[in-house]
Each structure stands twice: as structure tokens, then as C-alpha cells.
């Protein structure tokens, strides 16, 4: 559960911590430096069809994400 320091629509820098065929698991810190984790579904990784997520992003990569 996220606290009030982050809200839907906020943009954050997240680190890819895991990949599955259906998406990427990420972690990011809020304004109080509390760590949160989430999932970016494969359909949200980039515009257009992604057949293999591992060809688009890598574990350890930092990405911009919108909550």
C-alpha cells in the first residue's frame, strides 16, 4: 500500500528487479525514501507490441514510470 507521499499519476524513477513473460517487477522510493514495489505489465513497457520483454528491458535498468 502506498502512503500519501505518492499518488496515482505521479512519475517516478524505478529500477527493474525482475522479469516475467507478462511484465517487469520494479522498485522505487517515495519522497520519504520509503521503498515500494510494483509491476509494469508488458503492454505498458513501450508503444507497440512487445513479443519478448527481455529484448526491451533488463534487470538493473532504471526506467521512468507513471503510477
The reported pLDDT for the residue numbered 31 is: 83
Measured at the alpha carbon of residue 24, what is the angle toward residues 19 and 26, in degrees to the nearest 5?
110
Mean pLDDT of the chain: 91
The reported pLDDT for the residue numbered 33 is: 87
The reported pLDDT for the residue numbered 3 is: 58
Pick the residue with more confidence: 28 or 30? 28
The reported pLDDT for the residue numbered 2 is: 52
Please give the domain boundaries of the chain with CATH numbers for all domains.
11-66 (2.40.50.140)
Q: Beginning with the edge strand found earlier in the chain, give each strand of the sheet holding 35-41 in spatial order.
A: 35-41, 23-29, 11-20, 62-66
Segment 41-65 shows an average pLDDT of: 94
- Whole-prediction pTM: 0.85
CA distances from 55 to 16, 25, 40, 64 (A): 14, 15, 15, 18
Amino acid at each position: 500500500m502506498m502512503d500519501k507521499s505518492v499518488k496515482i499519476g505521479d512519475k517516478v524513477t524505478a529500477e527493474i528487479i525482475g522479469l516475467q513473460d507478462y511484465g517487469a517487477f520494479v522498485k522505487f522510493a517515495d519522497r520519504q525514501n520509503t521503498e515500494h514495489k510494483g509491476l509494469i505489465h508488458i503492454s505498458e513497457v513501450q508503444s507497440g507490441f512487445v513479443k519478448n520483454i527481455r529484448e526491451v528491458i533488463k534487470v538493473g535498468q532504471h526506467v521512468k514510470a507513471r503510477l
